[in-house]
DNA sequence: TTGTAGGCGTTATCAC
DNA sequence: GTGATAACGCCTACAA
């Protein structure tokens, strides 16, 4: 029922030449008379011809669509990443289909199938907090669909999937060291799900900083949360400890904001009584009062790099048809930047 | 180069029946023997057959893809809206392609063309702050591509496009009235781009509240911004006025947070000295300190409703082929809810 | 109920 | 250089 667009057939008829010639002209094939080529192009322009991506895809098997799966669409960080992805993809002639897993592995699973049904040429995934295995993602490999993980990943993904992350350990190390330098002695860490690599790495950086400064690692001061709920309660529990911490390093900014809110509501002075550092580098960090110290992740760049890796992998998949050499997976690790705000400066 | 999936031909061959029979079985057409139908279904299941959406779309002219264009992906509000859209679309078998216009009309334009190239069945748009006309969007009408505007719209869209918005005027009225009831007398309004309907409606509600309470409308207290930059400066200018306001009603939460940040940095007591109310109902509102009073917009519902309207329009477009009755555009206006936080309660 | 034939819009492989 | 012709995977009359 759609108004039908002009097709190469139309062009062929009007120019009284064959469709194959038109087709050649339209994708400037080598063997074509420049004159006829121009004729075709002109008419195409005039009739507002647009190549049907559908038909092209049907025969070529490529859709130039790539799928993106994020845990939460409403988290600004992912918004920035997606913006980066989008930019890169567009410049290369790709479009993206986005799915939200809502931090549920089941939904992640479904999304993958959905994207497959829509013939995406590749998929970018940031696993959910529930995702403690990669079976459903490995399936994609079997279907020869390139995959790149971003931001979050699992240790077992190593050597199987390309990925783009930040140097989580270093970032955490810097954040913790900063707190120590500011004079905080009892630094707690509100961590994330244990199986996620970012959790492990950040915890590692945190520990390393303590070790290097001869501060004890206190089990009670390290709590694993789900990055979302109950942060208020967790914070209160930390404060209720026999020896409560005098600083809190949160796994990310959303958690940090909840911590701040809880502390300030209890009329605890931040940063005098308790220092706080987050991780993300969200826009709100510099708008909060006090401004939040945070380890800035280059969200946009993460998106760009991930998209680039994926496209390279896709290209290699298509060119490689003859010389079947195995693809080399790459793990791009981007640097972070500690942005010191007021929430961690005792002399504020 | 992709590992080829099984097709209806494969099924037909293995079952030694014709492809049309297989095709019929697969989309449970009426005229088919239940027995053979089952056979086909079983084999399909066994061979992991998946219908090619590409081929189907090519012949049916429907892709079951719908395009979404938002000003900014990294704004949580839009993230929530998109989540709502996604949910509705998925349940109806649709997928979505997202584009970010980055608040630039040119990018909006490009996105539209891009989505068209990808044969989307319809488009959901929230115009940019720059969008002061709808020519490029009207073009879609000519191509018979249904469009629904959400959140933001222009007065001239009336009667041409369906839309889903909130009762902006009422929300603004409530916010302003609330401030008045709390004892604020000199209420400023940081507004948005003049041509946007939300700007006009919220301004209207603000004015109405003042009028109803016999408060004067002071031109100097109403400033038009672009919803993003320079809010700090605007705030300071307001405070520097001969008669500075004692409350600020911001057009949305992002702006309100900038206002809060500016005020608190100047050691101005909120809400004692100056009250603040935002508009959006963002998650951060209840995490800020003081918590931000805000007019809550049901983001998720906006997305759902917009998607529903669009799908209805699409359906009607396809069923209507015979009886060509004009489509009735609808403007769904959702209610808002004033969420009172600490930023506007003098007795806090 | 089932099969045949033609078509959706492009591309690719042949001849000419 | 150009033009038939056969795919791509599926749908839809029209016959049988």
Report pLDDT for A1. 47
pLDDT mean over A127-132: 94
Residues near A73 by Cβ (< 8 Å), separated by ≥ 6?
A: A79, A98, A100, B79, B80, B82, B83, B86
Chain B 274-303, CB < 7 Å to strand D: none
A289 and chain B in contact, CB less than 8 A: yes
pLDDT mean over A215-234: 94
Distance from A265 to chain B by nearest Cα, in Å? 8
Which of B79, B102, B288 is opposite residue A75, by nearest beta carbon? B79
Q: How far is the CA of A271 from the C1' of C14 (A)?
A: 78
- How wide is the angle at C-alpha B249 spanned by C-alphas B245 and B251, nearest 5°? 140
C-alpha to C-alpha distance for B235 and A89, rounded to whole angstroms? 39
| Strand C–CB B38 distance below 7 A | no
| Partner-chain contact A320 B52, CB within 8 Å | no
| Strand C–CB B164 distance below 7 A | no
Q: How far is the CA of A18 from the C1' of C14 (A)?
A: 15
Sign of CA dihedral A205, A83, B97, A160: negative
pLDDT mean over A319-344: 85
Percentage of chain A exceeding pLDDT 90: 89
Give CA separation, A67 vs A160, A257, B54, B56, B71, in Å: 19, 31, 16, 20, 21
Nearest to A93 by CA among A330, A298, A314: A314
Q: Name the residue of chain A whose CA is nearest to B319's CA.
A: A1
C-alpha to C-alpha distance for A276 and B271, rounded to whole angstroms? 25
A92 and chain B in contact, CB less than 8 A: no
Give CA separation, A289 vs A82, A344, A345, B263, in Å: 28, 12, 13, 10
| Strand C–CB B18 distance below 7 A | yes
| Partner-chain contact A289 B320, CB within 8 Å | no
Judging contacts by C-beta atoms under 8 Å, the chain B residues touching residue A317 are 1
Report pLDDT for A320. 60
Do B291 and B342 form a contact (C-beta atoms < 8 A)? yes
Residues near B72 by Cβ (< 8 Å), separated by ≥ 6?
A: A79, B78, B100, B102, B103
B267 and chain A in contact, CB less than 8 A: no
Instruction: Give the model confidence (pLDDT) of A248-257 as tens digits.
Output: 999 999 999 9
Report pLDDT for B1. 46
Nearest to A70 by CA among A159, A180, A150, A181: A150
Which residues of chain A from 5 to 44 reach within 8 Å of chain B, CB to CB? Answer: none
Output the average pLDDT for chain A.
94
Distance from B95 to chain A by nearest Cα, in Å? 7
Residues near A156 by Cβ (< 8 Å), separated by ≥ 6?
A: A133, A134
Report pLDDT for A31. 86
Do B176 and B215 form a contact (C-beta atoms < 8 A)? no
Judging contacts by C-beta atoms under 8 Å, the chain A residues touching residue B52 are 58, 119
Dump the DSSP string for B256-271: HHHHHHHHHHTT--TT
Instruction: Give the model confidence (pLDDT) of A35-88 as tens digits.
Output: 999 999 999 999 999 999 999 999 999 999 999 999 999 999 999 999 999 999
Which of A74, A76, A95 is opposite residue B114, by nearest beta carbon? A95
Q: How far is the CA of A62 from the C1' of D7 (A)?
A: 16
Chain B 200-259, CB < 7 Å to strand C: none
User: Coil, strand or helix: which one is A247?
Assistant: strand
Instruction: Give the model confidence (pLDDT) of A83-107 as tens digits.
Output: 999 999 999 999 999 999 999 999 9
C-alpha to C-alpha distance for B124 and B312, rounded to whole angstroms? 13
| Strand C–CB A23 distance below 7 A | yes
Percentage of chain B exceeding pLDDT 90: 89
Distance from B260 to chain A by nearest Cα, in Å? 8
Closest-approach nucleotide to residue B32, Cα vs C1': C1
Instruction: Give the model confidence (pLDDT) of B201-229 as tens digits.
Output: 999 999 999 999 999 999 999 999 998 88
Give CA separation, A249 vs A174, A233, A290, in Å: 11, 16, 15
C-alpha to C-alpha distance for B197 and B200, rounded to whole angstroms? 5
Closest-approach nucleotide to residue A21, Cα vs C1': D2
Q: From first to last of the 348 residues of chain B, give the pLDDT tens digit.
A: 456 789 999 999 999 999 999 999 999 888 889 999 999 999 999 999 999 999 999 999 999 999 999 999 999 999 999 999 999 999 999 999 999 999 999 999 999 999 999 999 999 999 999 999 999 999 998 888 999 999 999 999 998 999 999 999 999 999 999 999 999 999 999 999 999 999 999 999 999 999 999 999 999 999 999 988 899 999 999 999 999 999 999 999 999 999 999 999 999 999 999 999 999 999 999 999 999 999 999 999 999 999 999 999 999 887 765 456 677 899 999 999 999 999 999 864
Q: Is the pTM of this model over 0.85?
A: yes
Closest-approach nucleotide to residue A7, Cα vs C1': C9
Axis crossing angle, helix B135-142 with helix B105-117, rounded to the nearest 10: 20
Beta strands (DSSP E) in A127-259 are 147-150, 162-166, 187-191, 222-224, 247-250
A212 and chain B in contact, CB less than 8 A: no
A63 and chain B in contact, CB less than 8 A: yes
Distance from A272 to chain B by nearest Cα, in Å? 16
C-alpha to C-alpha distance for A285 and A339, rounded to whole angstroms? 9
Q: Find and give the residue nearest to C7, measured CA to C1'.
A: B59
Tokens 């041409």 correspond to B160
Mutate to test the interface with B, among A289, A318, A327, A343 (most CBs of B within 10 A): A289
Q: Name the residue of chain B whose CA is nearest to A142's CA.
A: B3
| Partner-chain contact B79 A80, CB within 8 Å | no
């Amino acid at each position: 029922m759609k108004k039908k667009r002009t097709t190469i057939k139309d062009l062929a008829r009007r120019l009284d030449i064959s469709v194959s010639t038109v087709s050649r002209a339209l994708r400037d094939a080598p063997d074509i008379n420049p004159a006829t080529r121009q004729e075709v192009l002109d008419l195409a322009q005039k009739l507002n011809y647009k190549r049907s991506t559908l038909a092209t895809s049907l025969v070529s098997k490529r859709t130039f669509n790539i799928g993106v799966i994020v845990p939460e669409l409403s988290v600004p960080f992912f918004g920035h990443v997606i913006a980066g992805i989008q930019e890169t993809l567009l410049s290369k002639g790709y479009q993206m289909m986005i799915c939200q897993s809502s931090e549920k592995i089941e939904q992640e699973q479904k999304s993958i199938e959905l994207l497959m049904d829509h013939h995406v040429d590749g998929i970018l995934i940031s696993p959910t907090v529930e995702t403690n295995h990669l079976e459903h993602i490995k399936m994609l490999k079997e279907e020869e669909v390139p995959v790149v993980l971003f931001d979050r990943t699992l240790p077992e993904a190593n050597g199987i999937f390309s990925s783009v992350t930040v140097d989580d350990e270093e970032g955490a190390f810097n954040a913790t060291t900063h707190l120590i330098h500011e004079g905080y002695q009892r630094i707690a860490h509100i961590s994330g799900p244990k199986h996620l690599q970012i959790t492990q790495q950040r915890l590692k950086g945190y520990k390393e900083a303590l070790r290097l400064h001869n501060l004890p690692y206190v089990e009670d001061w390290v709590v694993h949360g789900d990055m979302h709920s109950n942060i208020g309660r967790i914070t209160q529990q930390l404060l209720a400890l026999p020896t409560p911490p005098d600083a809190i390093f949160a796994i990310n900014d959303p958690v940090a904001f909840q911590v701040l809110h809880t502390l300030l509501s209890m009329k605890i002075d931040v940063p005098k009584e308790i220092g706080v550092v987050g991780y993300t580098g969200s826009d709100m960090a510099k708008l909060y009062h006090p401004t939040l110290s945070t380890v800035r992740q280059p969200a946009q760049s993460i998106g760009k790099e991930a998209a680039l890796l994926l496209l390279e992998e896709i290209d290699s998949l298509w060119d490689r048809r003859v010389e079947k050499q195995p693809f080399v997976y790459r793990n791009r690790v981007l640097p972070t930047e500690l942005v010191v705000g007021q929430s961690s400066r005792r002399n504020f």
